[in-house]
A and B are shown apart, each in its own frame.
Chain A
Amino acid sequence: MSALEIRNIHKRYGEVETLKGIDIALESGEFLVLLGSSGCGKSTLLNIIAGLAEPSGGDIRIGERSILGLHPKDRDIAMVFQSYALYPNMSVARNIGFGLEMRKVPAPEREKAVRETARLLQIENLLDRKPSQLSGGQRQRVAIGRALVRNPQVFLFDEPLSNLDAKLRMEMRTELKRLHQMLKTTIVYVTHDQIEAMTLATRIAVMRDGRIEQLGTPEDIYDRPATLYVAGFVGSPPMNILDAAVADDGLRLASSGESLPLPVDFRNAVTAGRRVKIGIRPEALRLANTGMPGTRVTARVEVVELTGPELVATAKLGEQRITACLPPRTRLVVGLEHAFSFDEAALHLFDPETGRTLLTA
């Protein structure tokens, strides 16, 4: 039995269909991240799970029962909003305890639960304050506390970190991961931030245009992207995508005419003459030393950016550009051709028409 099961969920607003059949089954304790750019339907799906929007078709089950048609309060869920959505006139303690208060939990029990939650989130000293007296990070902790205190079956997070500055976002991300490891709660988390998705999720659903583009573990999504969209969306800088054709002796790059070997995994999937898109992650590229074995391409370096931990080089390979993430002290000369090498296993092949991977297994 799944903790949360989403079955063939559709959502139409008049002519527009924002969700086109979503199927996900979550085991208890899973951390699912719905990842996608704005307008992909991820927040709509979250609102449907919460009961803040009704689907046009499909079913949602928590445990053994369908929760469709149930009032949000009866769904055994808690939600953390992007804007924190704290009640401005109430103290932090009352904000956290409000859900329990509405459920008529006796005051002593409520106070105990609020205090425990506050301790967990390290906000015990803030309990008497009003939300307006808190910093962004503190407000976010209170919002999380308000969800935690009710101990529901499923937690819903709607882009909870996107209003925080970069440093705080990282801190809260680690904090969320810590909480999840400790409490083993079932979480559905919406974000457009692929780093958040990769770091937090036990599984990621990459969404696009109301559909799930790929559902898998962070490793699946990163190492075996199912589509060009996923390949381009996850990873920073994004995967290099090059046009190529299958020849008798391997792959031929469209832009430079260079030959590359056809990776073993794809040998049965393609035949000579077929056009493909090749994907290779920037971090899979190395600067090739003379005499070093392995596959290599030659490209003219255009721009070099040092980010600190790495050096991001943009180079021109015939008519196309590729990006390589290299060790920070790599010596590159802008304007000169350099050879970049990589393992052939790092190559991904996609169908240029459908955008889907040509990996058959």
Chain B
Amino acid sequence: MPGTWITTRAWLLMLPLLVIMVAVIGWPLVDTVRLSFTDAKLVGTAGGFVGFDNYAKMLGGSNFQRALITTTWFAVVSVAAEMVLGVLAALLLNQQFRGRTALRALMILPWALPTVVNATLWRLIYNPEYGALNAALTQLGLLESYRSWLGEPGSALIALIVADCWKNFPLVALIALAALQAVPRDITAAALVDGAGPLNRFRYVIMPYLAGPLLVALVLRTIEAFKVFDIIWVMTRGGPANSTRTLSILVYQEAFSFQRAGSGASLALIVTLLVTILAVAYAALLRKAAGAS
């Protein structure tokens, strides 16, 4: 058969990679699927087959539903805020002014910080006894006395969203800035002469150039936000009163804190499925946008 040798050699060359991928991705995935149908504990019992019990219990439980709402809220608000902030920052940094290059470099800084460092930093800012936010707000007269921003269910999620935005809007800004630089100068000049004000120029002239790249940023950020774990774990561990418990936190608690490996696995697979649906929907959207331009 022609090409047999080539095919064999290709497989041989790929073999090491395949072995590693099967070992670190394939096997854990298969094992997670297997686990999700058992009542296995993290330590001790291997567990017996329980069918779809875990899925039914998780999907029907109030914990999952509440975590889904929390996650969606977190993702929608933080991504929306990041998009708006990012585009505004990009518009600003696209203007001609002294120190623009330095400011562009500075802007990337929050994004370049490791999430754990960023989270620790914001925990200090929100600190109820010596936090900078409390100090600033009381000194400005906007706040009577120090508050525990992360300690109150009403404010903890918002505080987390602010911290997440601060870290991630630079990515959006960077993508938007690159897109803005691709807008031909003549076209904005033509719009000026045509009498388009700043809002109309943005809407009719700049936005068409921005839409595609922003959609990519939106896809990336939504999927990331939906999977959010580290920033929340460092800052609130899902508390207070589970008010910041997102799906990933719930998975972690189920599998590791409560050591219920079986139901933890089923929850993890549910989250994976949700993110996959998001990703596929966005991919279709992107293809449509690419076709339209």
Contact = CB atoms under 8 A, between A and B. Distances in A.
Central interface residue in A77, A86, A99, by most chain B CB within 10 Å: A99
Given A85-B184, A85-B186, A85-B187, A50 B193 contact: yes
Contacts of A86: 187
A103 interface: yes
Contacts, number: 60
Contact of B186 (A71, A83, A90): A83
A227 to B, nearest CB: 33
B189 interface: yes
Interface in B184-238: 184, 186-187, 189-197, 200, 204-205, 208
A34 B61 CA distance: 78
Contacts of A52: 189, 192-193
Contacts of B189: 50, 52, 72, 79, 81, 85
Given A89-B208, A98-B204, A78 B186 contact: no
B259 to A, nearest CB: 56
Which size class do A's interface residues fall under?
20 to 34
B5 to A, nearest CB: 47
A134 to B, nearest CB: 15
Contact of A98 (B186, B194, B197, B208): B194
A267 B200 CA distance: 65
A102 B192 contact: no
Central interface residue in B193, B195, B204, by most chain A CB within 10 Å: B193
A73 B208 contact: no
A84 B187 CA distance: 8
B195 A79 contact: no
A304 B133 CA distance: 85
Contacts of A146: 190, 194
Interface in B223-270: none
Nearest to A74: B195
Nearest to A73: B195
A85 B190 contact: yes
A81 B185 CA distance: 10
Interface string A78-109: 11011111111110000000110011000000
A143 B210 CA distance: 23
Contacts of B208: 87-89
A156 to B, nearest CB: 8
A85 B190 CA distance: 7
Contacts of A81: 186, 189-190
A94 to B, nearest CB: 9
A98 B193 contact: no
Contact of A78 (B193, B196, B205): B193
Nearest to A79: B193
Nearest to B207: A89
Contacts of B191: 87, 98
Contacts of B186: 81-85
Contact of A79 (B190, B196, B197, B204): B190
Contacts of B184: 83, 85
Nearest to A103: B195
A326 B105 CA distance: 64
A27 to B, nearest CB: 23
15 contacts: A72-B192, A73-B194, A73-B196, A79-B190, A81-B190, A83-B186, A87-B190, A87-B208, A90-B204, A99-B193, A99-B195, A102-B194, A102-B197, A103-B195, A146-B194
